[in-house]
Amino acid sequence: MSTRLSRVEETLRRALAEIIVRGDLRDPRLSNAAAISITAAKISPDLGSAVVYVDVLGEQGSAVQRVIEGLNAGASAIRAKLGGRIRLKRTPSLRFVVDRSIEHGRKIEAVLAQIHAEAATNGPTNRGTAELDDDDEHEAASTEPTS
């Protein structure tokens, strides 16, 4: 990805976050604007459209879906406000989607914590001991006197 495109994506992400946090939108589905987090924006190479990844803190399931519906319903109003904040040849059309990466990361951390806890309760594994035994046998075979 080009440096210019990544700079535009970051500028877009920050401007969208500012628009949402300021509460410029009147949709009741977006009433808890402080809980809405714009995690990333991926813009097409022609700058015509953008996919905006959103996470809603403390919410799950249907509440998150309502926020996404509210954002997509107000996408044209958000786009108009965005046009006044950033300078681009054309302001991209916006599509908001749920960012599942944070949830996915939490699941991975939980699995790793479970593995760590199981390893702590089971003690050291025999794998390291078996490797030492093989090496000891090899050394013993090579140091035996030959007739």
pLDDT confidence band for 97 (50 / 70 / 90): very high
Q: Let me know whether 7 and 75 are in one domain.
A: yes
Q: Let me know whether 28 and 77 are in one domain.
A: yes
**Which one is predicted more confidently, 30 or 127?**
30
Which range of 58-72, 77-91, 125-139 scores highest in mean pLDDT? It is 77-91
**Percent over 90 (pLDDT), the chain:** 17
Give the Cα-Cα-Cα angle 51, 56, 61 (nearest 5 degrees).
95
Identify the H or E element spanning 95: strand 93-98
pLDDT at position 13 is: 92
Indicate whether 30 pLDDT > 90: no
Question: Using CA atoms, how far apart are residues 124 and 117, in angstroms rounded to an integer?
Answer: 12
Are 92 and 12 in contact by the 8 Å Cβ rule? The answer is yes
Domain span including residue 46: 3-99
Question: Using CA atoms, how far apart are residues 135 and 69, in angstroms rounded to an integer?
Answer: 63
CATH code, domain carrying 9: 3.30.300.20
Q: Let me know whether 92 and 126 are in one domain.
A: no
pTM given for the model: 0.69
Q: How many residues does the chain have?
A: 147
List alpha helices for 74-126, DSSP H: 75-85, 101-122
Domain total of the chain: 2
Q: Let me know whether 54 and 109 are in one domain.
A: no
Residue-wise pLDDT for 122-145, tens only, equals 866 555 445 555 555 555 555 555
Are 32 and 64 in contact by the 8 Å Cβ rule? The answer is no
pLDDT at position 118 is: 87
Q: Let me know whether 21 and 50 are in one domain.
A: yes
Indicate whether 96 pLDDT > 90: yes
- Which of the listed residues 63, 84, 99 is the one where a domain comes to its end? 99
Burial grade of 87 (CB within 10 A; 0-12, 13-18, 19 or more): exposed
pLDDT at position 143 is: 52
Q: Let me know whether 123 and 94 are in one domain.
A: no
